[in-house]
Amino acid sequence: MEDDMRQMTAEELGALCTNLQKACTKQLRNEEASLFGTLAAYYDKQRTIEKAQDLKTLLAAINTDLSNGFAEASNAAEESNDRGTKRALVWGEKASKLLKALMIRYEKQGSALLENTNIWVCEICGFVYVGDIPPSVCPICKVPSFKIHPIQKEAV
């Protein structure tokens, strides 16, 4: 187990604290949620901005996750009988497959795919939607549309 230990990046710590903040909010633990929010903001300021990746590099990373990453994580979740992780992995795999398909469409159509429309992402499962308004319910994790947020086009 010691070989599996490594120092987490600021991005990973920020994501972890954000998830813990959301969990505390759902449990009505407002003080803890606020503290995790403060930590998430701190780590967000510490993160490094990576240089832009090309589409082929991003698709390769998604393919690696789809062919190996999800299977390895699912096996670990199964061994520990962690139902919550297994559910999140199913959502993540579905969202990754849809993202891969969207990226392949973008590779063919270029920026015309995104012209005169919006891009939305589900904060729960990562589902990405291209269209004027988000679906009323996320097709992956079934949360209502207020959990699906617009992405600024400058970031795309």
pLDDT at site 156: 45
Q: Which two tokens stand for residue 142?
A: 């079934």
DSSP H or E run through 9: none
CA atoms within 13 Å, Cβ hemisphere of 57: 4
Q: Which two tokens stand for residue 114?
A: 């995104």
What are the b/e assignments for 14-50, b being 16+ CB within 10 Å?
A: bbebbebbbebeeeeeeeebeebbebbeebeeeeeee
Residue 28 placed within a domain: yes
pLDDT at site 31: 96
Residue 45 placed within a domain: yes
pLDDT in tens, the chain (156 residues): 456 678 888 888 988 898 899 888 888 999 999 999 999 999 989 877 777 778 888 899 999 999 999 999 999 999 999 988 898 899 999 999 999 999 999 999 988 888 889 999 998 888 999 999 999 999 999 999 999 999 876 544
Determine the 3-state secondary structure of 22 from DSSP: helix
Decide if 98 contacts 62 (C-beta within 8 A): no
pLDDT at site 53: 76
Residue 33 domain boundaries: 8-49
Decide if 123 contacts 147 (C-beta within 8 A): yes
Residue 141 placed within a domain: no
Residue 130 placed within a domain: no
Residue 66 placed within a domain: no
Residue 92 placed within a domain: no
Q: How many domains does the chain have?
A: 1
Model pTM above 0.85? no
